Amino acid sequence: MTLISQRLSLLAVALGITFSALGYETSTGRYTHHEHKTRMKKIEAIIKPFKLEEVKDALHDVGAEGMTVSEVKGFGRQKGHTEIYRGSEYTVDFLPKIKIELVLADSKVQEAVGAIIKAAKTGKIGDGKIFISNVEEAVRIRTEEKGENAV
């Protein structure tokens, strides 16, 4: 850790936030692993809108305590659809989808992904995708709890 970073860390500790825990080299922005091992993952699932309720319930059943849902538009292999107004045809490229985001402890991730697949699958094109990525840190704002306790 560089001198600047240490000084910034001291300042941050004074403010109640530990910068070093974020694992960033402030001087270069380079990512480092040496202080913290990732113990959480973020799941982003793009699903068909009508499957939202089922997926939510399935995730609840495997112990997920929260999630963020957004209405999004996009396309994959399903592509768009065609609308016809009298003689005029228009291709609509972007289809409405739902994106669910949630962060879970590593130990729960496989089970949650399985639950999403089971609930969202119709077997037809356009069922969506799931992306899983590492999460460096999580903080609950109210209590300032960190890591797995915060998700």
Q: Which residue among 3, 15, 84, 125 contacts other proteins (CB under 8 A)?
A: 84
The size of the interface with other proteins (CB under 8 A), counted in residues, is 9
Q: Which residue among 4, 92, 144, 149 contacts other proteins (CB under 8 A)?
A: 92
Structure tokens at 96: 């409405």
Q: 46: Cβ–Cβ under 8 A, 6 or more apart, which residues?
A: 72, 74, 97, 98, 99, 128, 129, 130
**Binding status of residue 70 toward other proteins by CB under 8 A:** no
**Binding status of residue 143 toward other proteins by CB under 8 A:** no
d(CA 124, CA 77): 11
Q: CA-based diameter of the chain, in Å?
A: 70
**Binding status of residue 14 toward other proteins by CB under 8 A:** no
Closest to other proteins by CB, 91 or 143: 91
Residues contributing to the site for other proteins (CB under 8 A) = 83-88, 90-92
